[in-house]
Structure 1
Amino acid sequence: MPMPSVRRFYDDLAADYDRIFPDWDASIARQAGTFDALIGAELGTGPLRVLDCACGIGTQSIGLAGRGHHVTGTDLSPRAAARARSEAAARGVRLATAAADMCRLPFAAGLFDAVLCADNSLPHLLTADEVGAALTGMRRVLRDGGLLILTVRDYDDLRRTRPASTPPQLSTTPEGGTTITFQLWNWHDDGERYDLRHFQLIPDGADWRVRERTTTYWALTARRLTELVAAAGFTGLTWRTTETTGFYQPILTARR
């Protein structure tokens, strides 16, 4: 089960999450195209029943629902899940959301055609037992032949280089003003996990409002994640690179 700090991180970030993106609506549309094409190639034309089990404020869920799929979005953060629902409604899209731990999904077995866990959410789980519990739960709620979609950072390279920070990202709001977002990483002695300090400098009149949030990640290599997904009972594991999908993180798909 994720540490309480993960929920606090995303509860606090929920109101400002869209400021991470240069253009959030453009990202919603672009990612919907990527995942809709992937789901269609694997499962055929929809509409399909999709669970986004780390939906955040709806970056993937809203776009997939807008393309006609029956999407349920869950997130550890009640504030994020609530915002996803309201943002979907504001765009004329129907999206069911709920607060739920991905390790304890509150759904009947075989309910979904596809389960999505994107945006490096799974590595918030810091042990093999926690990751295994989440993957086993995702498999349980998939129908036979259902599709698992995971996206994570390319940790194979990051484990070698151990960066201390990320480049700043700039986002301009419709009201004007530019938000600056960046991260500082403090690697643990084991070389596998790191504490992340997430900073946002948000314009506030003539001044800046500074928000800092902290959380911890497990830098899962592709090989280790592949092993864990296979151990949870999935088959047909396939990695897709950023070059082939256009998505900003590698994508792992597998079948129940």
Structure 2
Amino acid sequence: MTDSPREFYDGLAADYHRIFPDWDASMSHQAAVLDGLLTRGLGPGPHRVLDCACGIGTQAIGLARTGHRVVGADLSPVAVTRAAAEAATRGAVLPTVAADMRQLPFRPGSFDAVVCADNALPHLLTVQDVTTALTAMRRVLRADGLLLLSVRDYDEARRTRPAATPPQVSYDSDGRTITFQLWHWHDDGERYDLEHFQLLPGALPGAPEWSVQVRRTTYWALTRAELSEAATAAGFTSPAWHEPPISGFHQPLLTARAG
């Protein structure tokens, strides 16, 4: 049985940074890539940016520190609370709101750009829900505003159907954390249930050396063509893909303009 996306990210929020070998370095690097795309697409900033799946702030904080006027939204109230606090400790201003990306609580044309990164959109499992979310992103963008959306390389995953991800090791003041995933593909070959494992260092003296957290959710492995088509159906134009070897981002990135 899988959790809802909100339950999954509420549970992961306290340990999400442990996915990264160096979370602050990842923030800075990702912000540099996204800022470059914003500048090329919209001209010199600062720009009004909505991160509609901000989580604990990995992209939003970095972009705010770059100088953009960023608002963070996420389905998980636990995650957005942490995002605002993490931003404040780094001297950044990040207003946040708990909101479903299908029902964004902002006026039409409020933003120059919308970011939806880190494979957030594929938590939506139907064409209707994906189109609804993209239409909501289009609504809050100004005319000719920019969408920046990243997902896993699902073209390759649909072909190979991986069963697991390699373990990743991160270090912080508490010690090492080991993170990996198991993927259980549905019969349709497009959706899969994910088990997210984290082996965490023991928190208390005398406690076992490791504790194990397992969280479960479901994804739809949307291909580039399917996402481009969905973006066009939602009113975006000029969809273009930016691949990791060229962009420097960790996932394929889709950019598109609000028509």
3-state SS of paired residue (2:12) = helix
Q: C-alpha distance in 2, partners of 1:160/1:69?
A: 38
Indicate the residue corresponding to 2:186 in structure 1.
188
Q: Distance in 1 between matches of 2:97 and 2:184?
A: 32
| C-alpha separation in 1, matches of 2:226 and 2:56 | 29
Matching of residue 208 in structure 1 with residue 210 in structure 2: yes
Q: Find the counterpart in structure 2 of residue 236 from structure 1.
A: 238
- Aligned amino acid, residue 32 of structure 2: G
SS of the residue corresponding to residue 105 of structure 2 reads coil
- Looking at structure 2, the residues matched to 54 and 250 of structure 1 have their Cα atoms a distance apart, in angstroms, of 17
Q: 3-state SS of the aligned residue for 1:60?
A: helix
What are the residue-to-residue correspondences of 1:44-193 with 2, within 5 Å?
44-173=43-172, 175-193=173-191
User: Runs ≥4 in structure 1, deviation > 3 angstroms?
Assistant: none
| Aligned equivalents of 1:11, 1:248: Cα separation in 2 | 24
* CA offsets 1:144-197 (integer angstroms, 9 cap, x no match): 010001100110110011011000000001x14100000000000000000000
Partner of 2:257: 255
Paired amino acid for 2:160: T
| Partners of 1:176 and 1:140 in 2: CA distance | 43
Q: What are the ranges of 5 or more consecutive residues in structure 2 without an aligned counterpart? A: none
1:56 Cα deviation (Å)?
Answer: 0.4
Amino acid at match of 1:252: L
Per-residue CA deviations over 1:109-162 (Å, capped at 9, x if unaligned) read 000000000000000000000000000000000000100011001101100110
User: Percent identity, aligned pairs only?
Assistant: 64
| CA deviation string 1:82-103 (max 9, x = no partner) | 0000000000100010100000
The TM-score with structure 1 as length reference comes to 0.97
Deviations 1:20-49 (A, max 9, x none): 000000000000100011100100111110
Alpha-carbon distance in structure 2 between the residues aligned to 1:68 and 1:248: 22
Paired AA for residue 139 in structure 2: R
Query: What amino acid is aligned across from residue 54 of structure 2 in structure 1?
Result: C
Paired letter, 1:254? A
Q: What is the aligned length?
A: 253
- Quote the Cα distance in structure 1 between the aligned partners of 2:67 and 2:251: 24
2-side partners of 1:225 and 1:67: how far apart? Answer: 28
Q: Distance in 2 between matches of 1:223 and 1:254?
A: 13
Distance (Å, rounded) in 1 between the aligned partners of 2:32 and 2:228: 25
